[in-house]
Amino acid sequence: MKSSVIVFPGSNCDRDVAVALKKMQFNNQMVWHKETSLPKSDLIVIPGGFSYGDYLRSGAIAGKSLIIDEVIKAANSGCFVLGICNGFQILTETGLLRGTLLRNESLKFINKDINIKVINNKTKFSSKYKLNQVLKLNIAHNEGNYFTDKNHLDELKNENLIAFKYCDKNGNISVKSNPNGALENIAGIYNSKKNILGMMPHPERMVDSIISNTDGVNIFSSLMV
């Protein structure tokens, strides 16, 4: 499978996700933000980091960059798109995903290992996970507090578009297991066609047992099925 990782000025998880993709046998290319065309890709990854220094609003400037038009075109024609952390924020800025990421409730940057629950395992991104499986991933963000309006929240629920919810290690979803104040503990969502996934936790940080664990592997390897 072919993948492209978009590199913005200020992206800083681009190498990490490229390493993970390579490990999962993707044929990956890095794509600079000033490019005006995308190489043929089955998967486009928008990595984490601080694109354009988070100036204006995290993800806002990247959402208007040259390459993003191509990403939108590809996404609309069915290409798989994965936005991680700042990538998720960028996807909400482009409108490819709805809702927004607010400042963490604690008003502090948070980096720690957290647990999330697989809410839908019938997508191309999650088919190798079990339903309700509890994963341990790592978060690192200032703005991860997902918010959306009631209509959209109903839509997310009715169409099974919530990908992951923050939980404790036993799978309980509660205020206590919510690290950033996200609406209904939402950690990741799909678009209605389920070819776009945005998530705050970093799956690429959990693909190597020497560093952490391998709970993030299936996000990438499910796509290979």
Provide the annotated active-site residues: 85, 202, 204
> Looking at 1, 60, 110, 134, which residue binds another protein (CB under 8 A)?
110
Which x/- pattern over 142-171 shows residues binding another protein (rule: CB under 8 A)? Answer: x-----------------------------
Of 195, 196, 221, which Cα lies nearest the Cα of 207?
A: 221
> Looking at 66, 192, 211, 214, which residue binds another protein (CB under 8 A)?
211
Closer residue to another protein (CB): 93 or 97: 93
Rounded CA-CA distance 121/212 in Å is 23
Among the listed ranges 72-80, 105-113, 159-167, 187-195, the one in contact with another protein (CB under 8 A) is 105-113
Among the listed ranges 93-101, 115-123, 156-164, 206-214, the one in contact with another protein (CB under 8 A) is 206-214
By the 8 A CB rule, do 168 and 177 touch? yes
> Looking at 4, 5, 16, 165, which residue binds another protein (CB under 8 A)?
16
Give the tokens for residue 47: 């990595």
Rounded CA-CA distance 137/114 in Å is 6
Closer residue to another protein (CB): 55 or 78: 55
Contacting another protein within 32-91 (CB under 8 A): 34, 48-50, 52-55
In sign, the C-alpha dihedral spanning 179, 181, 182, 186 is: positive
Contact flag: residue 109 with another protein (CB under 8 A): yes
| CA torsion angle 122 44 196 94 (round to 10) | 170
> Looking at 37, 40, 77, 108, which residue binds another protein (CB under 8 A)?
108
The count of residues interacting with another protein (CB under 8 A) is: 31
Among the listed ranges 69-77, 107-115, 118-126, 183-191, the one in contact with another protein (CB under 8 A) is 107-115
Of 110, 130, 142, 203, which Cα lies nearest the Cα of 171?
A: 130
By the 8 A CB rule, do 78 and 193 touch? yes
CB atoms within 10 A of CB 172: 12
Rounded CA-CA distance 145/182 in Å is 4
Which residues of the chain form contacts with another protein (CB under 8 A)?
9-10, 12-13, 15-16, 19-20, 34, 48-50, 52-55, 108-112, 138, 140, 142, 202, 204-205, 208, 210-212
